[in-house]
């Protein structure tokens, strides 16, 4: 069976005791979390492109598909990314074997503004994260990076908005993390569903 057809049917060891849903959902959604400890195990070409393929099948307004992915996998490419990631994030993200900068085109193909480009890029990131989980990989999205420096170093056109850098790889031991981050290396919970739902209108 191809790894791209893996089915997540059980709650992972890390998630047990830390997460639970109020209503039934696939374990896939609970198993997806954002660790910071990465092993030095390389991610295969097939798995990297499977993750990006899943992201590319996200829905988008008018099917414009505004998302763009700048991928770093080689030592040379990763060293460039490391130059624009914040010091705090680099303290752990420097171990990730793959980094992906998610951007989106602010203009539609006809030149009109695309008011949904950020929304659509966020959807693509969600698809990317879920496919990674299916493959036994972990992801962590970072907003802490120098956007202007990234734009300059990667030669990104002004019409692309830069959203987040995604660390992608296999989970490592939390003992590898800086001391202040080890205690935070657990799946976080969610506020009650009732706090984020408004039935009809705000009361």
- Count other C-beta atoms under 10 Å from residue 84's C-beta: 20
- Count other C-beta atoms under 10 Å from residue 19's C-beta: 19
Q: Is 77 exposed, middle or buried (0-12, 13-18, 19+ CB in 10 A)?
A: middle
1-5, 7-11, 126-130, 196-200: least confidently modelled range = 1-5
* Distance in angstroms (rounded) separating the CA atoms of residues 186 and 104: 31
Q: Is the pLDDT higher at 130 or at 184?
A: 130
- Residue-wise pLDDT for 62-113, tens only, equals 999 999 999 999 999 999 999 999 999 999 999 999 999 999 999 999 999 9
* Position 7 pLDDT exceeds 70: no
* Position 2 pLDDT exceeds 50: no
- Residue-wise pLDDT for 11-34, tens only, equals 888 888 888 899 899 999 999 988
- Residue-wise pLDDT for 161-197, tens only, equals 999 999 999 998 898 888 888 889 788 889 999 999 9
**pLDDT on residue 68:** 98
Beta carbons of 35 and 41 less than 8 angstroms apart: no
Tell me the domains of the chain and their CATH numbers.
34-172 (3.40.109.10)
Report pTM.
Answer: 0.92
Q: Which residue has the tokens 């006809």?
A: 110
Task: For 75-96, give the DSSP string.
Answer: HHHHHHHHTTB-HHHHHHHTT-
Beta carbons of 42 and 177 less than 8 angstroms apart: no
Residue 17: which residues within 8 A CB-CB, separation 6 or more?
none
What is each CA distance from 17 to 12, 23, 159, 173, in whole angstroms? 10, 16, 44, 19
* Distance in angstroms (rounded) separating the CA atoms of residues 110 and 85: 33
* Distance in angstroms (rounded) separating the CA atoms of residues 111 and 108: 5
Question: How far does Cα 83 stand from its chain's mean position?
Answer: 19
**pLDDT on residue 66:** 98
∠ CA 32-33-37 to the nearest 5 degrees? 125
φ/ψ (deg, to 5) at 112:
-70, 155
Which of helix, strand or coil describes residue 119? helix
């Amino acid at each position: 069976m191809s790894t791209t057809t893996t089915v997540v049917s059980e709650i992972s060891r890390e998630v047990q005791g830390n997460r639970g849903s109020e209503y039934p959902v696939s374990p896939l959604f609970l198993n997806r979390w954002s660790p910071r400890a990465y092993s030095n195990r390389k991610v295969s070409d097939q798995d990297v492109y499977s993750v990006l393929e899943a992201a590319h099948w996200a829905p988008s307004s008018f099917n414009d598909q505004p998302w763009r992915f700048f991928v770093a996998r080689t030592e040379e490419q990763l060293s460039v990314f490391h130059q624009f990631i914040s010091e705090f994030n680099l303290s752990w993200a420097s171990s990730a074997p793959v980094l992906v900068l998610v951007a989106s085109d602010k203009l539609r193909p006809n030149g009109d503004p695309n008011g949904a480009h950020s929304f659509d890029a966020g959807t693509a990131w969600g698809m990317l994260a879920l496919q990674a989980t299916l493959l036994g990989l972990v992801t962590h999205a970072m907003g802490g990076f120098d956007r202007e420096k990234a734009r300059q170093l990667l030669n990104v056109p002004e019409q692309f908005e830069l959203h987040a850098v995604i660390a992608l790889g296999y989970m490592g031991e939390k003992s590898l993390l800086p001391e202040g981050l080890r205690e935070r290396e657990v799946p976080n919970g969610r506020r009650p569903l009732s706090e984020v739902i408004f039935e009809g209108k705000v009361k």
